[in-house]
């Protein structure tokens, strides 16, 4: 069933071309890219996105542009170039950064202690019996450090950072993440009933957060439910703020 749905979505986008109304279909193909089992399947999806994809495709494709699989990387880069050509009339300084690979790499500006809590939050997606399984947190921390620019000097590994950090207040950080979930749920509910309307600036900020989550989860390649993982990355990003 999933195979036929993918084929129908691809055909629809090929026939109709780019449209802002196709965002849901584009997101479906992003997930199909992450689950693609063959290079041919990956290239076929990229071909469709190259013909009809919009700016929301860029972070996911940028993540694949750094893939160890050279064929996938080249296909992603070519697709990005096609999208770039299609939207160049909207060129501005922000758009220039949008198509730069370094733009999408997350920089950790929060404290080192909060980075440990961030790794522990991400480890929670694996639903282990023990939320604070040290080896799992250390493994996740090392993987995050390969995708996030974070300064842990003078430590040389995430494990060393965790063991040598005495001021790690896990409970306080987790409460903050839970508060973010509650606040996000409230905002979504009042938006659905029309009580408030987000400003263009708020929409832009939310879109950027979502797209950075798209990039990071694609790079991490964890075998988890992507929708749940995306939301976890979004709310846990609350920890990445200056003290």
When comparing pLDDT for 145 and 184, which is higher?
145
Identify the domain boundary among 88, 104, 120.
104
Residues 87 and 141 in one domain: no
Residues 168 and 74 in one domain: no
For 205, the domain range is 106-239
Residues 68 and 152 in one domain: no
Residues 117 and 92 in one domain: no
Identify the domain boundary among 86, 104, 122.
104
Residues 83 and 194 in one domain: no
Whether the ω angle into residue 149 lies within 30 degrees of 0, i.e. cis, is no
Identify the domain boundary among 104, 132, 163.
104
Please give the backbone phi and psi of residue 156, each rounded to the nearest 5 degrees, phi first: -110, -5
Residues 124 and 186 in one domain: yes
pTM: 0.92
Residues 55 and 31 in one domain: yes
Residues 110 and 157 in one domain: yes
Q: How many domains does the chain have?
A: 2
From 93-102, 138-147, 232-241, the region with the lowest mean pLDDT: 93-102
Residues 99 and 190 in one domain: no
Q: What is the mean pLDDT of the chain?
A: 90
Residues 138 and 99 in one domain: no
Q: Which strand (E) or helix (H) includes residue 106?
A: strand 106-107
DSSP 124-162: GGG--SSTT-HHHHHHHHHHHHHHEE---TT-SSHHHHH
pLDDT digits (tens, 9 = 90+) for 17-74: 988 889 999 999 999 999 998 999 999 999 999 999 999 999 999 999 999 999 999 9
Sign of the four-CA dihedral 24, 1, 68, 81: negative
**113/178 Cα distance (integer angstroms):** 18
What is the pLDDT averaged over residues 95-122? 92
Residues 79 and 11 in one domain: yes
Residues 88 and 166 in one domain: no
């Amino acid at each position: 069933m999933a195979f036929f749905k993918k084929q129908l979505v691809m055909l629809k986008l090929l026939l109709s071309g780019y449209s802002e109304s196709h965002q849901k279909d584009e997101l479906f193909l992003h997930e199909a890219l992450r689950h693609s089992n063959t290079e041919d399947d990956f290239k076929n999806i990229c071909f469709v996105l190259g013909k009809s994809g919009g700016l929301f495709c860029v972070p996911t494709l940028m993540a694949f542009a750094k893939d160890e699989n050279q064929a996938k990387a080249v296909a992603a880069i070519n697709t990005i170039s096609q999208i770039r050509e299609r939207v160049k009339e909207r060129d501005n300084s922000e758009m220039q950064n949008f198509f730069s690979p370094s733009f999408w790499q997350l920089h950790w500006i929060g404290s080192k202690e909060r980075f440990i809590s961030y790794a522990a939050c991400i480890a929670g997606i694996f639903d282990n019996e023990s939320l604070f399984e040290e080896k799992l947190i250390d493994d996740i921390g090392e993987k995050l450090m390969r995708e996030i620019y974070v300064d842990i000097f003078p430590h040389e590994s995430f494990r060393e950072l965790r063991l040598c950090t005495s001021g790690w207040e896990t409970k306080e950080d987790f409460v903050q993440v839970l508060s973010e979930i509650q606040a996000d749920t409230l905002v979504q509910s009042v938006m659905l009933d029309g009580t408030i309307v987000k400003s263009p600036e708020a929409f832009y900020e939310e879109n950027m957060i979502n797209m950075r989550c798209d990039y990071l989860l694609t790079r991490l390649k964890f075998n988890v439910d992507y929708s749940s993982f995306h939301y976890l990355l979004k709310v846990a990003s609350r920890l990445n703020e200056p003290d």
